[in-house]
């Protein structure tokens, strides 16, 4: 499948495939570990007409229709949109809140356990439990995003300004094309965590000396406790994604379009089908950013219960890693798909939110339950990859394989169970979340090394986990 590979400097590999060119950003060890299937999937993606660009970040791994870790770009005027290159969990992304606490303030396991229990009172972690916000109309949220929330749920202006986008605007008439069951199934899910790789994590910050000025300018300090949240659009986005994948398979058959991978679907962005998907995808982005907002609102209340009403948790940033957005690159509008890829804009870039226009915005990269996460900032050189970097460590093995190969004892050891540095979790038994153990993921330090070596972004801070809340 692979043709000639040109190894550029700075962890950049350019691979000739039968139907186009794939760029891979990874250090030699990570690049050498990619399985052949990822190149087969890339070639299937490159069969979509008029592709401008396609790349993999170092955390890339096999997904449905498209690898997680993909950036794929078309011109807006004649390009294609693909639900498969967005992913089912539309708008899934990261959020970080700062606290005034030092890690020594929660070093006592009893304090962390109290915080975990308080967070679980406000943030449902069981799939069958509804949210605590029945007074919020989810249709206001899917139409208007954060600006559709009642004022009482917006503690201060930063909660609206320190985000990638507070409201994704779209043609609301397309909502009439959605089956009623999507609204029914999403009802009661706002402010709920979800299962799988979603989490709430309490972490302690270590600022990188090379970016200390940036980190301190963002309000970070060494030893600071921060809250990292990973969640998405829940049933709204999942059902919308499945609905459009199914309908586009049928439409492609009518158009006489085929692809070796039946799970890879796409349509011209200017077609009715393309416009319908894009507009409804934006409704899911609105749900996703609002869902993380409401999870954070619950976490804030939990901290107040434990540390007093005076404590506040200002937003550092909220951003996504599953979407397709209209962006301006190379002096023209492009449709940039990122599936498991994070946008990392450099200082001074015009697409930065106003709050981070000068410094560039925080790019939030989770590790795994037993390893560090990272806060990064984009570099000018990131233009070569449309300012995309990794979205995490990336899975090393499937959930099934993880359960077969990793023991509970090995999982416990990775969480340092029984030591004073134990990473506490909210589950009574580790067996229930074994498929999310650190051994299921690639080495996040190697992933970050790949990104830094490619000069796509720099590390601003390393975040060491202290407690993890997972859904079931």
C-beta of residue 138 within 8 angstroms of C-beta of residue 287: yes
**H-helix or E-strand containing 470?**
strand 457-470
> Of 97, 244, 337, 391, which residue is the catalytic one?
391
**Torsion-angle region of residue 129: left (phi > 0), alpha (psi -120 to 50) or beta?**
beta
The set of residues, in sequence order, having a beta carbon less than 8 Å from that of 113 and lying 6+ positions away, is 424
Binding-site residues for Mn(2+), in ranges, read 89, 198, 230, 321
| 329 catalytic per annotation | no
State the pairing for strand pair 12-17/20-25.
antiparallel
The set of residues, in sequence order, having a beta carbon less than 8 Å from that of 471 and lying 6+ positions away, is 125, 126, 127, 192, 193, 194, 195, 196, 198, 199
C-beta of residue 322 within 8 angstroms of C-beta of residue 289: no
Binding-site residues for GMP, in ranges, read 197-201, 321-322, 366-369, 373, 391-394, 470
* Number of helices followed by number of strands (H, E) in the chain: 12, 19
C-beta of residue 27 within 8 angstroms of C-beta of residue 453: yes
- Angle in degrees, 0-180, between the axes of helices 272-307 and 109-122, rounded to the nearest 10: 130
User: What Rg, from alpha-carbon coordinates, does the chain have?
Assistant: 21
**Spatial separation of the C-alpha atoms in residues 265 and 425, rounded to whole Å:** 39
Residue 4 pairs with which residues in a beta bridge? none
C-beta of residue 465 within 8 angstroms of C-beta of residue 396: no
Binding-site residues, in ranges, read 89, 197-201, 230, 321-322, 366-369, 373, 391-394, 470
Closest among 44, 73, 80 to 267, alpha carbons compared: 80
Residues designated catalytic:
391
């Amino acid at each position: 499948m692979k043709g000639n590979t040109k190894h550029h400097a700075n962890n950049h590999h350019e691979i000739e495939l039968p139907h186009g060119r794939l760029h891979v950003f990874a250090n030699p060890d990570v690049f050498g570990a990619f399985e052949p299937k990822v190149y087969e999937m890339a070639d299937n993606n490159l069969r979509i007409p008029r592709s401008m660009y396609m790349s993999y970040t170092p955390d890339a791994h096999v997904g449905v229709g498209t690898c997680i870790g993909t950036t794929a770009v078309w011109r807006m005027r004649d390009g294609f949109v693909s639900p498969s290159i967005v992913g089912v969990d539309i708008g899934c992304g990261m959020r970080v809140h700062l606290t005034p606490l030092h890690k020594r303030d929660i070093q006592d396991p009893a304090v962390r356990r109290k915080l975990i229990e308080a967070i679980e009172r406000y943030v449902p972690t069981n799939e069958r439990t509804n949210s605590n916000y029945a007074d919020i109309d989810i249709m206001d949220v899917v139409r208007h995003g954060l600006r559709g929330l009642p004022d009482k749920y917006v503690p201060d202006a930063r909660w609206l300004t320190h985000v990638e986008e507070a409201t994704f605007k779209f043609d609301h008439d397309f909502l009439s094309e959605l089956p009623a069951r999507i609204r029914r199934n999403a009802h009661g899910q706002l402010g709920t965590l979800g299962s799988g790789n979603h989490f709430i994590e309490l972490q302690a910050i270590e600022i990188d000396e090379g970016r200390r000025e940036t980190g301190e300018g963002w309000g970070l300090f060494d030893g600071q406790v921060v809250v990292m949240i990973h969640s998405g659009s829940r049933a709204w986005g999942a059902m919308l994604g499945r609905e459009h994948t199914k309908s586009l398979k049928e439409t492609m058959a009518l158009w006489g379009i085929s692809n070796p991978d039946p799970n890879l679907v796409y349509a011209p962005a200017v077609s009715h089908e393309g416009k319908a998907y894009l507009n409804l995808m934006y409704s899911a982005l609105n749900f996703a950013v609002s869902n993380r907002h409401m999870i954070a609102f619950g976490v804030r209340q939990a901290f107040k219960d434990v540390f007093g009403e005076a404590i506040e948790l200002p937003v550092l940033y909220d951003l996504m890693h599953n979407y397709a957005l209209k962006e301006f690159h190379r002096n023209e509008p492009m449709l940039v798909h990122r599936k498991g890829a994070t946008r990392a804009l450099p200082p001074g870039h015009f697409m930065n939110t106003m709050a981070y226009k000068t410094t560039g915005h925080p790019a939030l990269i989770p590790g795994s339950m037993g390893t560090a996460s990272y806060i990064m900032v984009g570099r000018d050189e990131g233009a070569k990859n449309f300012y995309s970097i990794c979205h995490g460590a990336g899975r090393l093995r499937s959930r099934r394989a993880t359960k077969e190969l990793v023991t509970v004892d090995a999982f416990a050891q990775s969480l340092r169970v029984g030591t004073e540095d134990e990473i506490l979790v909210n589950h009574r038994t580790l067996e229930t979340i074994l498929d999310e153990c650190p051994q299921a993921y690639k080495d996040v330090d190697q992933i970050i090394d790949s990104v830094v070596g490619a000069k796509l972004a720099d590390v601003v801070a390393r975040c060491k986990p202290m407690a993890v809340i997972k859904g079931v």
